[in-house]
Structure formats: structure tokens, C-alpha cells
Amino acid sequence: MRPILVHRLIGDPVTQRRESRSVTGGIFLARILIVDDDPDIGSVLQEILELKGHSVVSACNGLAAIEYLSSSPLPDIVLADVMMPVMNGKELIERIRATPRTASLSVILVTGASPGNKDFPDPGTYDALVSKPFDIWDVTDCIESLLAPILSEEKLLQAEL
């Protein structure tokens, strides 16, 4: 069975963006951006999330992520490390929140840094925190929790079609 693609415009007319969501048999397929300077962690996360049916893109630091976000379809969720070269996770989240197009993106921190670190993002600027070393199920549970409201909305849209 091929996924059903649902397209809609969200946001105010100035910042509207076209969204594509895939729903197959009740399973929601999300677009996820992984931002981590450790290629092994990025690869493991990408492989697991793709096996779960998500579309995944990786960036090696915050600046690469900002460049991707400015020129590509927006992801549903950003998974970001805190301690990275070029632009750390705190600066990344500050830029995401300061840009109208990306301000409402869901951000999950997947990091070994602790909240006491000076480079740690301020509370309330991210949606969830998973500490490294992580259990992959903690990551997927966070993703599913953040996607649940979107999935409910998509089911309503499907019912209207």
C-alpha cells in the first residue's frame, strides 16, 4: 500500500509553508533533522528512524542545520546535540526560535551535556531532552509523543476527505 500524502498550508499568509505528511495504515511518517557532530550517533539515529518509516536528514553542526532549514522543506522535528563545533545547540535553538518560519519547530535535545553547562539551551526553548548515552526507545518515545497531536489532526483531515 502506498502512503497517502496530505498537503496543506499552515501558518499565517506571510509565513505559510507547504506541508506534506505521509500516513500509511495509521502510522505517521515524519521529516526529522538530526544535528550532531558525531557521525556514528547521527548514522545510528538515522538508520533506526528510517526503519521506523521517517524521512531523515543529518547536519554536522548548527550552522549546517540553519542553512538546511533556510532552503529546504521544514522538518517536523529537530534532534540536536548541544556541544558541537561552528554553532552549538544553544545558538541553533536561539536561531530557530528567532526565525518566524522555524519558530514553532519541535526540538529534542539528544546530548551528553548537562543543564548546568553554559552552552546548554534555556529551559522552555526545547521540547524534550534525552541524555547520552541514550536508549533508542527514549528517542523514539519522545518523537512519537511530539507527533501524537499532529497525527490526530491528520486523521481528522483524512476523515474529511
Tens of pLDDT, residue by residue over 113-152, are 878 777 788 888 899 888 888 888 889 989 988 888 776 6
What's the pTM value of the predicted model, to 2 decimals?
0.76
Residue type, 143: I
* Pair 32, 55: CB distance under 8 Å: yes
pLDDT at 135: 86
User: Any bridge partners for residue 129, and if so which?
Assistant: 109
Q: What is the CATH number of the domain that holds 134?
A: 3.40.50.2300
Domain for residue 12, yes or no? no
Half-sphere exposure of 40 (CA within 13 A, CB side): 2
Question: Is residue 4 pLDDT above 60, yes or no?
Answer: no
What percent of the chain lies above the pLDDT cut of 70?
75
Average pLDDT, the chain: 79
Q: What pLDDT is attached to residue 147? A: 86
Which pLDDT band, with edges at 50, 70 and 90, does 19 fall under? very low
| Buried-exposed string 15-36: b where 16+ CB fall within 10 A, e elsewhere | eeeebebbbeeeebbbbbbbbb
Residue 66 within a domain? yes
* Lookup: cell for 153: 489532526
E strands, 45-94, where? 55-59, 77-80
pLDDT, residue 115, reads 80
Q: Going by C-beta distance under 8 Å and a sequence separation of 6 or more, which residues neighbour residue 60?
A: 35, 36, 37, 39, 42, 84
Given CA atoms 131, 150, 59, 140 in this order, what sign does their dihedral have?
positive
Residue with cell 519547530: 105
Enclosing domain of residue 46 = 31-145
Whole-number pLDDT of residue 123: 82
Locate 90 and state its grid cell.
Answer: 544553544
Q: 26: pLDDT confidence band, cut at 50, 70 and 90? A: very low
Task: Please check whether residue 20 lies inside any domain of the structure.
Answer: no
Task: At 30, list the grid cell.
Answer: 515524519
> What was the pLDDT predicted at 36?
93
Mean per-residue pLDDT, 25-51: 85
Q: With H, G, I as helix, E, B as strand and everything else as coil, classify residue 121.
A: coil
Cell numbers placing 112: 551528553
Q: Based on the structure, what is the number of domains in the chain? A: 1
